């Protein structure tokens, strides 16, 4: 028996460039940057003091049915509710909800919630005994139980955005959250796709939500020297594929998609925006800090996704074009990622790799960490819809070692029928999705 086809019927996002599908898309095509000085905490003395934050005009209460139900929502849950409400509405499921909520599932790649930093640090310091170099457990408990708040703590669990979405959209089917660092939401969409293909649900919400723009998040990445510490204009700091790239810039927010079996979408008269045709996942199993230098795992993920989609990477399509018309790169702007990703793409497509436009929207939106994959997947859906490829901003000093077509600085018109979306996580997880123009 053939497996069900899986289509995308709704998309939504909340990002540093805005929180409407077409508003953000327009800004991406204009090569605009969402980066500004950090406001979520006082980062002025940090090595990195800028980020692409979701702006103050985003209020999730304007998106949900009853804000009181989500009164406790932390930032990740707020982003998730805002993004998913857009996707749900576009799918039409808000007007006519699915008949059996047990056939509606969710697979997210959402991050851990934001630490209640002031109270956390206050408690640690209050209980610190410098002489023994230890925190006093009894003092800590007394202070922590008084200072920290119940819901703020519960909301830090990474499955909380999932819980909020399940409640808002009445989903009672398969429910998962995965957290494979920067690959998480690509993996989530891929596994949601696999659940639909196996027939275990009719509709799956897929996506991610994350912010790490908080003192310990920035500390952690600064200590790893993964973030750009560029001085001057923050909009020029994220420089994927440039010779002078120096690390990524944090973004935050959420991307959400509604996936369903074609049969389910057709039966209710929904319009597919695109089709998901392939998903590949692999693990580097190499080192905790480094990517496998030849891009072995990344290439395996791409090849497996292409195989599932029935695409031979060595063969041109019917119109004489390469078999893939756009690659949404992981493209973080770190030295290591951009050069290894380039190697991996060449490994997969050989000489044809140079003909495939490949850009990084992280140059504009920043790196949404666990939710990066979901917003980049959405970019692929829009590239197919509008025949436009978003640019890589700030690519003025190309790296001579990197010789692919990174769509520098200006969006480009192009017929796009098939895209690859790549994400690679710290820890070695590599995930790739194939998104295709829907044809009945």
Partner 1 sequence: MPRQQRRVVITGTGPIAAPGLGIEAIWSALCEGRSGVGPCSIFDASGFSCPFVAQLPPDRFDVRQVVPKSYRKATKVMSRDIELAVGAAHEAVRSAGLVTKAHEPADGRMTVPADRMGCHIGAGLIAAEENELTAALATSRKPDGGFDIAAWGATGMQNLTPLWMLKYLPNMLACHVTICHDCQGPSNTITCGEASALLSIGESMRVIGRGAADACLSGGAESKVNLMAILRQQFAGRLAKAAAGDDPTKTVRPFARDAIGGVAGEGGGILVLEAAESAKARGAAVLAELAGFAATQSFCPDTVGADPCRDGEGISDAMLAALQDAGMKPAEIDAVVPFGCGAPALDAAEAAAIRRVFGDRAASLPLVTLSPLIGNCGAGFGAVAAAVAVQCLQTGMLPARVNGDASLGVDAAPAAARKADLRSILVCTPSLGGQNAAIVLRRVA
Rounded Cα distance, 336 and 200, in Å: 39
Q: Does 268 bind partner 1 (CB under 8 A)?
A: no
| Cβ nearer to partner 1, comparing 127 with 237 | 127
Q: Does 347 bind partner 1 (CB under 8 A)?
A: no
Q: Does 352 bind partner 1 (CB under 8 A)?
A: no
Stretch that binds partner 1, among 22-30, 245-253, 276-284, 330-338 (CB under 8 A): 276-284
Rounded Cα distance, 126 and 112, in Å: 25
Binding test (CB under 8 A) with partner 1, winner from 67, 89, 286, 346: 286
Q: Does 346 bind partner 1 (CB under 8 A)?
A: no
Using CB under 8 A as the binding criterion, the count of chain residues that bind partner 1 stands at 99
Place of tokens 């006519």: 96
With beta carbons less than 8 A apart as the criterion, state whether 79 and 254 touch. yes
Q: How far is the CB of 134 from partner 1 (least distance, A)?
A: 5
| Cβ nearer to partner 1, comparing 32 with 229 | 229
| Cβ nearer to partner 1, comparing 155 with 376 | 155
Rounded Cα distance, 245 and 240, in Å: 6
Among candidate residues 178, 330, 380, 419, the one labeled active-site is 330
Residues 91-110 binding partner 1 (CB under 8 A) are 102, 105-106
Q: How far is the CB of 113 from partner 1 (least distance, A)?
A: 8
Q: How far is the CB of 63 from partner 1 (least distance, A)?
A: 15
Contacts of 96 (CB under 8 A, 6+ apart): 268
With beta carbons less than 8 A apart as the criterion, state whether 348 and 314 touch. no
| Cβ nearer to partner 1, comparing 166 with 435 | 166
Place of tokens 């982003």: 79
Eight-state DSSP code of residue 248: B
Residues 54-73 binding partner 1 (CB under 8 A) are 69-70, 72
Residues 36-55 binding partner 1 (CB under 8 A) are 41-47, 49
Closest CA to 302 of 349, 255, 257, 334: 349
Q: How far is the CB of 143 from partner 1 (least distance, A)?
A: 9
Q: Does 307 bind partner 1 (CB under 8 A)?
A: no
214 is catalytic: no
Q: How far is the CB of 117 from partner 1 (least distance, A)?
A: 9
Residues 395-414 binding partner 1 (CB under 8 A) are none
With beta carbons less than 8 A apart as the criterion, state whether 215 and 376 touch. no
Rounded Cα distance, 137 and 127, in Å: 7
Residue 422: which H helix or E strand, with range?
A: strand 418-424
Binding test (CB under 8 A) with partner 1, winner from 5, 164, 343, 362: 164
Closest CA to 240 of 378, 359, 134: 359
367 is catalytic: yes
Stretch that binds partner 1, among 162-170, 241-249, 374-382, 409-417 (CB under 8 A): 162-170
Q: How far is the CB of 395 from partner 1 (least distance, A)?
A: 29
Instruction: Provide the token pair at 140.
Output: 């800590």
How are beta strands 326-328 and 418-424 bridged, if at all? parallel
Binding test (CB under 8 A) with partner 1, winner from 53, 112, 260, 275: 112
Look at the chain and count its residues. Answer: 440
| Cβ nearer to partner 1, comparing 359 with 429 | 429
Instruction: Provide the token pair at 41.
Output: 């905490």
Burial status of residue 157 (CB atoms within 10 A of its CB: 0-12, 13-18, 19 or more): middle
Q: Does 209 bind partner 1 (CB under 8 A)?
A: no
How are beta strands 418-424 and 412-413 bridged, if at all? unpaired
How are beta strands 104-108 and 6-14 bridged, if at all? unpaired
Stretch that binds partner 1, among 13-21, 91-99, 297-305, 374-382 (CB under 8 A): 297-305
Binding test (CB under 8 A) with partner 1, winner from 206, 208, 215, 272: 215
Q: How many CB atoms lie within 10 A of CB 439?
A: 7
Q: How far is the CB of 285 from partner 1 (least distance, A)?
A: 4
Q: How far is the CB of 12 from partner 1 (least distance, A)?
A: 20
Q: How far is CA 282 from the centre of its chain?
A: 18
264 is catalytic: no
Catalytic machinery residues = 182, 330, 367
């Amino acid at each position: 028996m053939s497996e069900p086809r899986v289509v995308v019927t709704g998309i939504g996002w909340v990002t540093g460039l805005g929180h409407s599908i077409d508003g953000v898309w327009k800004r991406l095509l204009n090569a605009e940057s969402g980066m500004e000085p950090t406001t979520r905490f006082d980062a002025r003395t940090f090595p990195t003091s800028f980020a692409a934050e979701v702006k103050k005009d985003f209020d999730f209460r304007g998106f949900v049915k009853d804000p009181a139900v989500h009164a406790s929502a932390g930032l990740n849950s707020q982003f998730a509710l805002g993004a998913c409400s857009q996707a749900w509405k576009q799918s039409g499921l808000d007007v006519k909800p699915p008949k059996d909520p047990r056939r509606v599932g969710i697979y997210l790649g959402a991050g851990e919630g934001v630490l209640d930093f002031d109270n956390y640090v206050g408690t640690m310091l209050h209980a610190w005994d410098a002489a023994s170099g230890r925190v006093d457990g009894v003092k800590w408990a007394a202070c922590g139980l008084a200072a920290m708040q119940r819901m703020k703590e519960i909301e830090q669990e990474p499955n909380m955005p999932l819980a909020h979405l399940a409640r808002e959209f009445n989903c009672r089917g398969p429910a998962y959250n995965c957290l494979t660092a920067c690959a998480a939401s690509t993996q989530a969409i891929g596994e949601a796709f696999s659940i639909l293909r196996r027939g275990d649900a009719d509709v799956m919400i897929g996506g991610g939500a994350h912010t790490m723009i908080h003192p310990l998040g920035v500390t952690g990445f600064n200590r790893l020297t993964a973030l750009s510490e560029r001085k001057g204009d923050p909009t020029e700091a994220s420089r994927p594929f440039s010779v002078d790239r120096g690390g990524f810039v944090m973004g935050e927010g959420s991307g959400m998609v509604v996936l369903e079996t074609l049969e389910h979408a057709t039966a209710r008269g929904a319009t597919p925006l695109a089709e998901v045709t392939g998903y590949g996942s692999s693990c580097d199993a190499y080192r905790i800090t480094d990517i496998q230098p030849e891009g072995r795992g990344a290439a395996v993920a791409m090849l497996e996704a292409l195989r599932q989609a029935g695409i031979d990477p060595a063969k041109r399509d019917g119109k004489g074009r390469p078999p893939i018309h756009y690659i949404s790169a992981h493209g973080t702007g770190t030295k290591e990622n951009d050069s290894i990703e380039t190697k991996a793409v060449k490994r997969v497509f050989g000489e044809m790799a140079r003909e495939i436009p490949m850009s990084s929207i992280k140059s504009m939106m920043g790196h949404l960490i666990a939710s990066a994959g979901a917003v980049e997947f959405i970019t692929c859906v829009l590239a197919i819809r509008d025949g436009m490829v978003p640019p890589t901003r700030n690519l003025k000093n190309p790296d001579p070692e990197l010789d692919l077509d990174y769509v520098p600085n200006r969006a480009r018109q192009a017929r796009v029928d098939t895209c690859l979306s790549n994400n690679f996580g710290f820890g070695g997880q590599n995930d790739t999705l194939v998104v295709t123009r829907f044809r009945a």
